[in-house]
Amino acid sequence: MNEDRLREFDAQVLRCTKSIIASPGRKRIMREELLAHLLAAYEDEQRRVGDESAAAESARRRFGESDPLRRQLQASVPLLERIVFTCLPRKESSMRHLIWLAGVLAFLVGTGLILPALAKYKQLGYFRADATWGLTIGLIITLAGVSAVIYGVRRLIMKPS
């Protein structure tokens, strides 16, 4: 097999694994295994057909489409690992990280407004006007933060990039 063919196969495998959210070690193992499968299919086809280009095309067909394979590989990554490596910075998804960070910060700030209002209620037995405003604004900010985090988790689970 020539180097060009190996580069073609490596590029095809990279297209399948490039956007998977996982640890670098897991992605490396996935790439190595997929490349080994593709090379084995190529060697089988080359023995059967005898022509290199026909064998390469047949091996690519046996390998399958990139999108369904990518979804299957992403589904094999544990949820906790996906969440951790979603939060770690990557060049292509900085906006997603800003949404996560804004959601977490909004949740914390909102909770910081709600808790003193609830403490005042516990102390007095009723809500004062200033505590009501803090509680209302805190609830709105907290719900916005929770919504941003849920949006990020749903996007991670339902539609992996």
* pLDDT tens, residue by residue, 148-158: 888 877 776 66
Confidence of residue 142 (pLDDT cuts 50, 70, 90): very high
Q: Give CA–CA dist 136/150, Å, rounded.
A: 21
What is the structure's pLDDT at 1? 62
pLDDT tens readout for residues 67-93: 888 999 999 999 888 888 877 655 545
pTM of the predicted structure, to 2 decimals? 0.54
